Amino acid sequence: MYNAKGMLSPQGSIEPYLPLVRRAAAHMIGRLPANVEMDDLIQAGVLGLMDAMQRYEQGHGAQFETFAMQRVRGAMLDELRGTDWVPRSVRKNQRDIATAVQLLEHRLRRPPQDAEIASHLGVTLEDYHAMLVDVHGAQLVYADDYEAADGDTHYLDRHLAPDEKQDPARQLADRRFREALVAAIEQLPEREQYVMSMYYEHDMNLKEIAAVLGVTESRVCQLHSQSVARLRSRLKAW
């Protein structure tokens, strides 16, 4: 599979790595609207995998699987950026839910329940749950998904001014934000903490989380969206 120069041979079979592509697509589709097709993500991911096989060199400090996953996820995100996959109405619902959660938490001094949020928004509980499913795909993107197309420069490096002196104040602010985020997650209802942990720490997809919790994938989607809305409200100052 490797040639004499340490390059991964493009003639090598991609079959062993296709499960990585499918898993990446399954994980990403869980945070995207229903109009995004799984097959489109997989197709883009396969192209990213082929590109990784042509570019990978041994001895650069990363295993091929790690290098390939960056390319695969980057290709999937490029596919999404080429389409208008988040309607304005979804963005508005996202803001409305976050605002409602913030106001209710301030008033009630505790995490508001689904029915309370729905009542504040003036919608039925069923409609509120549908809103949570819709906004699920407009919420979070991993920072490391923004790797440059050529793999040389990180997104943040390209769009933030260089900080050669590593400003201690900035480092302190970053540490404080992380501490605030941890504290905010610890204040989530227990089931929502489980969802966040399984999704982000253990890299489980919605189907796997649903099986663990004994609920539907749709309910996991709702719990995730509501968790993010709570975190947004608590970390708004940041």
Helix (H, G, I), strand (E, B) or coil at 8: strand
Residue 175 is predicted with a pLDDT of: 76
DSSP character at residue 2: B
DSSP-assigned beta bridge partners for residue 57? 7
CA distance 225 to 111: 14
Residue 20 is predicted with a pLDDT of: 87
Question: Phi and psi dihedrals of 4, rounded to 5?
Answer: -65, -20
Residue 117 is predicted with a pLDDT of: 94
Residue 132 belongs to a domain: no
pTM of the model: 0.52
- Give the pLDDT means over successive 10-residue stretches in the chain (238 positions): 45 78 83 74 88 74 79 84 66 86 89 93 92 70 42 41 51 72 89 90 87 92 89 77
Query: Residue 96, Cβ neighbours under 10 Å: how many?
Result: 18
Residue 158 belongs to a domain: no
CA distance 153 to 147: 7
Residue 184 belongs to a domain: no
CATH of the domain at 71: 1.10.1740.10
Residue 27 belongs to a domain: yes
**CA 133 distance to own-chain centroid:** 15
Residue 147 is predicted with a pLDDT of: 43
Give the residue numbers spanning the domain of 76: 15-81
Residue 187 belongs to a domain: no
CA distance 100 to 229: 9
Residue 62 is predicted with a pLDDT of: 65
The span from the first CA to the last CA of the chain, in angstroms, equals: 47
Residue 41 belongs to a domain: yes
> How many domains would you assign to the chain?
1
Residue 179 belongs to a domain: no
Residue 22 belongs to a domain: yes
Residue 152 is encoded by which pair of tokens? 């040389």
Residue 46 near residue 65, CB atoms below 8 Å: no
